[in-house]
Amino acid sequence: MKRLIVILGVAFFVIFTTAAHAETFFHNFYFIGLWQGIDPDDGSEVQRSITLNEDGVFQIVGYETFYSGCEGGRGVVTATGVFENGVILCEDFTLTCLEDELGPFSVPVKYVPDRLNGTLQETYLNSSFQPEVLHKISNR
């Protein structure tokens, strides 16, 4: 009888642990890849590369065909993010202009998955910028 209780206890633990981590596992792989969209504020083409470091921190690198914040010039965005409550939160999302002395500009950003449409919404927090809807164009 004791063996049965131990076996049931171990089985319950394995099932519960697996179910508890399934959501995080799904999201980690959902976010990883190359994403593309259109900036609704200025019409530029948006690309974001999202990878997951060994320490569990997401690394984001991005490019747009032009940046309004760089007076229409080229720039690059970089950020690190953590997975919280089903989204990636980035406190250090930073735009660095490449052709002038403007910036760098930083704003907090969150990435929200849309499971129904298979897209990712990039939302600038504390900003008047509209959210960007990104479509995955490469898994890794």
Question: What does the alpha-carbon distance between residue 3 and residue 130 come to, in Å, rounded to a whole number?
Answer: 59
Q: What is the CATH number of the domain that holds 42?
A: 2.40.128
| pTM over 0.75, yes/no | yes
pLDDT in tens, the chain (140 residues): 666 554 544 444 444 444 444 455 555 678 999 999 999 998 999 999 999 999 999 999 999 998 888 888 899 999 999 999 999 999 999 999 998 888 799 999 999 999 899 999 999 998 888 999 999 999 86
Provide the residue range defining the domain that includes 89: 2-138
User: What contacts 1, CB < 8 A, 6 or more positions away?
Assistant: none
Torsion angles phi and psi, residue 5, rounded to 5: -65, -45
What domain count does the chain have?
1
Nearest of 137, 117, 114 to residue 33 by alpha carbon: 137
